[in-house]
Amino acid sequence: MRFMSIVSSPASASYGNPTPELLEAMGKLADREIKAGRMVDNGGLMPLDQGARISITKGVLSVLDGPFVEAKEVIGGYAIFELSSMEEAVALAHEFMQIHKDHMPGWEGTCEVRAFAGSAGS
Amino acid sequence: MTAVDTHRAILAVWRIEQPRLITSLARMLRDVPLAEELAQEALLAALEHWPRTGVPERPGAWLMTSARRLAINHLHRAPMLERSHAMLLRELEEAQAVAPDYAADLDDDIGDEMLRLIFTACHPLLPYDSRPALALRMICGLTTAEIARAFLVSDATVAQRIVRAKRTLSDSGLAYETPRGDELAERLSSVLEVIYLIFNEGYTAARGDDWLRPDLCSEALRLCRVVIAIAPHQPEAHGLLALMELNASRTAARTDATGEPILLLDQNRKLWDRIQIQRGMRSLARAEELGGASGFYTLQAAIVACHARAARAAETDWLGIALLYAELSAVTRSPIVELNRAIAVGMAEGPASGLAILDRIADAPELKGYHLLPSVRGDLLRRLGRHEEARAAFEAAAALAGNRRERDLLRRRAQEQG
């Protein structure tokens, strides 16, 4: 089964860049997961204020460049895994968030785990 | 969380942590079978404790501490035959005395250890049947029951295969090491063979009612990615990964809603997994860049890639496929490859040319009792309008097929010949 883990944090908080310790720990975890053949893709995203939003509201299509004052939470990065169960995806996300707790005190956020629709396996 | 949920959560953590436990214990104890047993015991301990205490914050560190304690207990019980034994015990006790350092655990690059473990599990001196079972158990963390279900054999059979393999490992003192030089190529080919065997067991399901057992396929893909991540310069490993990714990309299209198989040319190609195809194409390109274009797996991957590139069945480059099969045939000298070449030539040049190839291999002992020989013959005869002979061929094929769904499909084709 294919999963995507998406990590986000509240837009209101400005945590700044991840600490070097967190970056290092995340790098090691990603390296381990790639070597274990489970992680097939991952990446961090540039800040939302450098992004753009293309939306449809009340039948009107619009293109908006950042920054976005109304944003509630900001996606910081994602990872794609090939795993045999949701439980494995949850265990990995748990480990990923534990690293944040350990190496970036005060940080708050969410790691959302989602299965790809129609991905093989059960 | 219900008890079942907790159990599943523990097994998930186990699967993630288990290779690191085994490699770490094997390095300390220099005894893979013992390391595997102690890791299993650590799992049992987790299954006993965690339902009451909850899964700990750092489950990997918990399991490692528990496994080391079990190792120490084991060494205390075992007779002190050698001085090195006592030294080992002291090392373990010292490691245990300091608080487990989670960051250090992550620091522990297990790549080389992991490779060593894979080479050990797939050792050519181990019984053939035991290798996939041992690899799935030691590297993928599958339980005996899961392996038994996947291979459609009893738990006892799998347990026996694993015991036999571990006994061979202990008795023969097979070196727990990564082979070098000439030996590396030979040993790697045994590793790739085991991986491909696991994949095919899941993909073709030669026996039983399930056409697909996707778990085995994903475990094989994962094992191959592990090999590539730690030994990235072996073209055939990339070739095998490409072959498996490209084949697995068709999973959703291979069966209909009731589980009946759909043949390649009749599949809805929109259901093919584009992301997986892209990954397969990248691996194929990598294998070719590394100079492996004429390798056994890479050639097969190149053939499957011809199918993956065709947006519609009618656009298939059959001439290209026929040429690749000719090349593969020169490498393998296998009548099964010739059988496949007959299909491709039959499509590229016409059924009569395909039939001519089949006639040359009709008596090959390797194909005796192989249902695809009469099945392919039936198809070529059908296209030549020789319906009576085609029906007889499809009936012969149905009688030989071991998979019920495949048998039904062949019977239907026989009936269609009127």
Candidate from A35, A40, A120 with C-beta closest to B230: A35
pLDDT digits (tens, 9 = 90+) for B94-138: 776 665 555 455 555 566 778 888 888 888 888 888 999 998 888
What residue has token string 């290798």? B131
Across B9-13, B137-141, B297-301, B330-334, least confident range = B137-141
How far is A20 from chain B, CA to nearest CA, in Å? 13
**Cβ separation of B222 and A36 shorter than 8 Å?**
yes
Residues of chain A found within 8 Å of residue B225, distances taken between Cβ atoms: 34, 37, 40
Contacts within 8 Å (CB) and 24+ apart, B99-103? B100/B58, B100/B61, B100/B64, B100/B65, B102/A102, B102/B58, B102/B60, B102/B61, B103/A25, B103/A102
Fold category of A2-115 in CATH: Alpha-Beta Plaits (3.30.70)
**Cβ separation of A40 and B251 shorter than 8 Å?**
no
Q: Give the whole-angstrom CA distance, residue A16 versus residue A32.
A: 26
Mean pLDDT, all residues of chain B: 86
Burial class (CB in 10 A: 0-12, 13-18, 19+), B298: buried
**Cβ separation of A120 and B60 shorter than 8 Å?**
no
pLDDT digits (tens, 9 = 90+) for B251-270: 889 888 887 788 899 999 99
Residues of chain B found within 8 Å of residue A20, distances taken between Cβ atoms: none
Q: Give the whole-angstrom CA distance, residue B227 versus residue B122.
A: 12
Asked whether B50 and B29 are in contact (CB, 8 A), the reply is no
Residue B111's alpha-carbon distances to B22, B36, B108, B380, in angstroms, are 13, 18, 9, 50
pLDDT(B181) > 90: no
Asked whether B108 and B7 are in contact (CB, 8 A), the reply is no
Q: Give the whole-angstrom CA distance, residue B81 versus residue B85.
A: 7
The mean per-residue pLDDT over the stretch B146-153 comes to 80
Across B26-30, B209-213, B337-341, least confident range = B209-213
Question: Smallest Cα–Cα separation from B276: which of B339, B332, B217?
Answer: B217
Amino acid identity at B410: L
pLDDT(B185) > 90: no
User: Which residue in chain B is spatially nearest to A94 when comparing CA positions?
Assistant: B57
Candidate from B15, B106, B222 with C-beta closest to A29: B106
pLDDT digits (tens, 9 = 90+) for A77-120: 999 999 988 999 999 999 999 999 999 999 999 999 999 987 65
pLDDT(B210) > 60: no
Q: What is the ipTM of this complex?
A: 0.77
Confidence of residue B286 (pLDDT cuts 50, 70, 90): very high
Across A73-77, B316-320, B336-340, B404-408, least confident range = B404-408
A47 or B346: which leads in pLDDT: B346
Percent of chain B whose predicted confidence (pLDDT) is above 90: 44
Asked whether B13 and B59 are in contact (CB, 8 A), the reply is yes
Domain boundaries, chain A: 2-115
Candidate from A29, A98, A120 with C-beta closest to B251: A120
CATH number of B109-172+182-211: 1.10.10
pLDDT(B206) > 80: no
Contact residues, A window 57-96, toward B, CB-based 8 Å cutoff: 82, 84-85, 87-88, 90-92, 95
Which ranges constitute the DSSP H helices of B122-249? 130-138, 144-151, 155-172, 181-204, 214-230, 235-248
Asked whether A84 and B219 are in contact (CB, 8 A), the reply is yes
Q: Return the structure tokens found at A66.
A: 């950042």
Asked whether A32 and B23 are in contact (CB, 8 A), the reply is no
Q: Using DSSP, how many helices (H) and how many strands (E) does chain B show?
A: 20, 0
pLDDT digits (tens, 9 = 90+) for A2-58: 999 999 998 877 777 889 999 999 999 998 898 888 999 998 898 888 899 999 999
Residue A77: helix, strand or coil by DSSP?
A: strand
Residue B329: helix, strand or coil by DSSP?
A: helix
Residues of chain A found within 8 Å of residue B106, distances taken between Cβ atoms: 25, 28-29, 32
How far is B254 from chain A, CA to nearest CA, in Å? 11
CA A97 to chain centre: 10
Q: Give the whole-angstrom CA distance, residue A80 versus residue A7.
A: 12
The mean per-residue pLDDT over the stretch B46-63 comes to 90
Candidate from A2, A91, A121 with C-beta closest to B16: A91
pLDDT at B238: 97
Question: Smallest Cα–Cα separation from B264: which of B304, B234, B298, B227?
Answer: B304
Q: Does B9 touch chain A (CB under 8 A)?
A: yes
Q: What is the pTM of this model?
A: 0.83
Confidence of residue B367 (pLDDT cuts 50, 70, 90): confident
Residues of chain A found within 8 Å of residue B252, distances taken between Cβ atoms: 118, 120
The pairing of beta strand A60-65 with beta strand A52-57 = antiparallel
